[in-house]
Structure 1
Amino acid sequence: MGTSPNNIWCVIPVYNNGSTVADVVRRCRAQMEQVLVVDDGSTDLPLGFYEMLESMGVRYLIHGRNRGKGAAILTALAFLEGEKADYMITIDADGQHYPEDLPAFLELLERQEDLLVVGCRKFEGDNVPGGSRFGRAFANFWLKVETGASCGDCQSGFRAYPVAALAKLRFRCRHYNFETEVLTRCIWGGLKLREVPVRVHYPAREERVSHFRPWLDNLRISLIHVHLVGLRLLPWNAKRIAKAKPEKGPGWGVLLHPAAFLKQLLRENATPGGLAAAAAVGTFLAVLPLPGVHTLAILYVTVRLNLNKIMALAIQNLFMPPLTPFLCIELGYYLRHGHWWTELTFDSVVREMPYRLWEWLLGSLVLAPVFAAAAFVAVFAAARLLAGRRGDE
């Protein structure tokens, strides 16, 4: 079922982009009939800006103070829900995106419903910030872990959201981290992720205006990833917001084709980062005192986090008893008593077992992160090396 273009709005959140926003609005209005500007407490907008919007038939909403990009998008969402809009397409006001790429979104939205569309930026030219490249790879990796979905540009602000579906969700974030949270929650809710290639313009560094605060905003983004991963580890699924029924998985019939099933497992999230994350998780859980249930714990976590199960299960063999538990107990004993455990006797092991378990746990909480970090680095380096060799062949 398609969606009428008349029910699609272009939303432009703006905060102190006075030198670029007027041009962005004009170009968006040339592509779409319905445009909404949300002024998030700007102090540098040009004189007569709101009169210009009214003359073009552009609607606007105003925040009395700066509340964050996520808050601006949610303000637009509440307004458009009242307007019975089907979709809103968000575009940044800093001139980074090309409004002339809007038709690519409209064409896709007319053909399907329950879509979440992300404009994948083409990082070309001399002025692309190195931090943007790293940030995109970082965000793409965590989206894969949290949802199992692959996206070429999780940090792009050029997106299309279904209004009615989005209004069913509740969000914790109100700043740049909102765009991280909303992407994950929408995919959990059953929306179909689609991408369209879009152009991007980065001016020279001295001309660039950005309100992204590297330390604070990266901290906020990291914290929401921790929160989302924690939610993903819970044994129930998130609220579903899509109309269509979820697609059924392969079912038990896949076990009738073990070779194909094994190939599928080997290829699952088999990027260097994905394999390294699986190795780190498998290592961390293998070191913890979970006798008899290590394999089950690793399987559960890797299934929930969409990690490579073969890697995680294989690497646990490096930490089988007795060496790793002994190292943990030794370290735990030292942390408790200030000296190393040297009385390795039947009495000290069996009769004092409750103390040994406590020391095992204490030592593992120190060694597990260290071993997991080492496994991540080693597997990532090896996987990158092998990928490079395959590329040269």
Structure 2
Amino acid sequence: MASNEVLASINACVVVPTYNNAKTLSRVLDGVSSYTSQIIVVNDGSTDTTRNILGHYNNLTIIHLPHNGGKGNALRRAFREASTKGFDYAITIDSDGQHFPEDIPAFIHDIQKNGPALLIGDRNMNRAGIPGRSSFGNRFSNFWFRFETGIALSDTQSGFRLYPLKKLQNTRFYTTKFEFEIEVIVKAAWRGIAIRNIPISVHYDPVDRVSHFRPFRDFTRISILNTWLVLVTLFYIRPRDYFRTFKKKGFKRFFFEDLLHSEDSPQKKASSAALGVFVGLSPFWGFQTVIVLFFAVVLRLNKLIAFAFSNVSLPPLIPFIIFACIQIGASLTGSVAHQAFQWREVSTYRTFIQQHLFEYILGSLALATISAGIVGFTSYFILIRRDRLRTL
């Protein structure tokens, strides 16, 4: 297949956002032009000679923005233009010269071989020559992306990407700066779009390359975005996905396939169940889902099992659990907590907790620890026995 037909095979264009990269812009555009003439350049309010350089490229789609609105804004503007022109995919490449246009065919071949996806170039951040700031920022981004989506990638910050435009239609985005590249891949994953890395080459030229990343401002923006994405993940996305799986499979299939028949070891399953019970019985009302999913991710346990067992505090059992916690706490402190307790009146047991707050906290932690231990050990021996019986 001729080089100029590679992108046409999947109906793709190339998007080049640029801001004050006059030293490297021509080299990038010339390199991309050897693969396609379907190039959309967004001049994001450059104040150098970018406009004059672009004047020599009459066969490209060039969008001049009057003011610098940020990389995210430039990409969103380019995606709208590409969708209007009827393209199915858009490959984005930075104009600072760090990416090699020769890697463009790799994106096309991956789509042809493995199917539609949002592809992110993997720069191999562990090799020599990678700036320390970039390597740290990538590890930071990878961790939160995995927490928010459950997908492990080795590079989530590379700007050399392939976006499936039609699959991203009707997705609402709010960011306009560098953090857009995080928002878009997280929301794509939430919508069930496959996200994959593919190897690419990269070159950091200390002379010609100009980076517009502002460490304090942009890192702050990224941190705020990740905070919001984590909250949405914990309070909506994870419960939504678990509920959809449960609803689709029914309780029996859900229990045996997702809880028992996962590929995790008996130790990991039992530990996940113990974590869920501990958090579910601990005095963290209103935050149990957040806490259990956070520790399940940090400890690399089975999030589904941990979440399921954290619901041990079912509403009908809450009054009994509270009373038991206070009685256990009272026995541990040597105090007395045997006042009348009206099981059906919420206002009554709230008052009861306030009157015996210390006993309740101490007792709930004790009950949570004991129950987690019992559930963990019991689950472990049941799973071990089940595995042994299956091998006979």
> What TM-score, normalized by structure 1, do the two folds share?
0.67
- 2:13 touches 2:39 (CA, 8 Å); kept in 1? yes
Residue of structure 1 equivalent to 2:389? none
Report the Cα distance in structure 1 between the residues aligned to 2:297 and 2:70, rounded to whole angstroms.
31
Cα RMSD, aligned residues only: 4.7
Report the Cα distance in structure 2 between the residues aligned to 1:132 and 1:359, rounded to whole angstroms.
52
Distance apart, 1:46 and its partner CA = 4.6
Change (3 A) 1:16 1:358: farther
Q: 1:72 aligns with which of 71, 74, 77?
A: 74
Residue of structure 1 equivalent to 2:47? 43
- After superposition, where does 1:371-386 map in structure 2 within 5 Å? none
Report the Cα distance in structure 1 between the residues aligned to 2:111 and 2:62, rounded to whole angstroms.
24
Residue of structure 1 equivalent to 2:37? 33
- Uncovered stretches (5+) of structure 2, i.e. residues with no partner: 1-5, 242-247, 311-320, 327-332, 342-347, 366-392
Change (3 A) 1:349 1:172: farther
Q: How far does the alpha carbon of each residue in 1:174-197 deviate from its partner, in whole angstroms, 9 at most, with x for none? A: 100000100000111111122210
Change (3 A) 1:221 1:259: same
Residue 217 (structure 1) aligned with residue 218 (structure 2): yes
Identity %: 29
Residue 18 (structure 1) aligned with residue 15 (structure 2): no
What SS does the corresponding residue of 1:37 show, helix, strand or coil?
strand
Report the Cα distance in structure 1 between the residues aligned to 2:78 and 2:88, rounded to whole angstroms.
13
Distance apart, 1:199 and its partner CA = 0.6
Q: How far does the alpha carbon of each residue in 1:41-66 deviate from its partner, in whole angstroms, 9 at most, with x for none? A: 11113573122221xx2211111000
Distance apart, 1:353 and its partner CA = 7.0
Distance apart, 1:131 and its partner CA = 1.6
Residue 175 (structure 1) aligned with residue 162 (structure 2): no
What SS does the corresponding residue of 2:82 show, helix, strand or coil?
helix
Residue 354 (structure 1) aligned with residue 355 (structure 2): no
> What TM-score, normalized by structure 2, do the two folds share?
0.67
Report the Cα distance in structure 2 between the residues aligned to 1:36 and 1:180, rounded to whole angstroms.
22
Q: How far does the alpha carbon of each residue in 1:262-287 deviate from its partner, in whole angstroms, 9 at most, with x for none? A: 7258669x9xxxx9xx98x9998876
Looking at CA atoms only, which structure, 1 or 2, has the larger radius of gyration? Answer: 2
Distance apart, 1:84 and its partner CA = 0.5
Q: 1:290 aligns with which of 285, 289, 306?
A: 285
Q: How far does the alpha carbon of each residue in 1:140-169 deviate from its partner, in whole angstroms, 9 at most, with x for none? A: 111111111111101111110111222221
Change (3 A) 1:30 1:144: same
Q: How far does the alpha carbon of each residue in 1:56-88 deviate from its partner, in whole angstroms, 9 at most, with x for none? A: x22111110000100000000111111000100
Report the Cα distance in structure 1 between the residues aligned to 2:249 and 2:110, rounded to whole angstroms.
26
Instruction: For 1:44, give the aligned amino acid.
Output: D
Distance apart, 1:100 and its partner CA = 0.8
- After superposition, where does 1:97-136 map in structure 2 within 5 Å? 97-111=99-113, 113-123=115-125, 126-136=128-138
Distance apart, 1:7 and its partner CA = 1.9
- 2:123 touches 2:200 (CA, 8 Å); kept in 1? yes
Report the Cα distance in structure 1 between the residues aligned to 2:81 and 2:337, rounded to whole angstroms.
72
Residue of structure 2 equivalent to 1:372? none
Report the Cα distance in structure 2 between the residues aligned to 1:356 and 1:86, rounded to whole angstroms.
59
Report the Cα distance in structure 1 between the residues aligned to 2:302 and 2:168, rounded to whole angstroms.
32
Q: 1:84 aligns with which of 66, 83, 86?
A: 86
- After superposition, where does 1:137-156 map in structure 2 within 5 Å? 137-156=139-158
- 1:3 touches 1:86 (CA, 8 Å); kept in 2? no
Q: How far does the alpha carbon of each residue in 1:11-49 deviate from its partner, in whole angstroms, 9 at most, with x for none? A: 010011111111111101112231111011111135731
Change (3 A) 1:164 1:297: closer
- Range with greater deviation from structure 2 (77-86 or 119-128): 119-128
- 2:234 touches 2:290 (CA, 8 Å); kept in 1? no
Change (3 A) 1:53 1:4: closer
Q: 1:159 aligns with which of 158, 161, 173?
A: 161
Residue of structure 2 equivalent to 1:308? 301
- Uncovered stretches (5+) of structure 1, i.e. residues with no partner: 241-247, 326-341, 369-393
Residue of structure 2 equivalent to 1:59? 61
Q: How far does the alpha carbon of each residue in 1:327-380 deviate from its partner, in whole angstroms, 9 at most, with x for none? A: xxxxxxxxxxxxxxx99665999999738539959x99xxx9xxxxxxxxxxxx
Residue of structure 1 equivalent to 2:229? 228
Change (3 A) 1:41 1:231: same
- After superposition, where does 1:230-269 map in structure 2 within 5 Å? 230-235=231-236, 252=253, 255=256, 261=262, 263=264
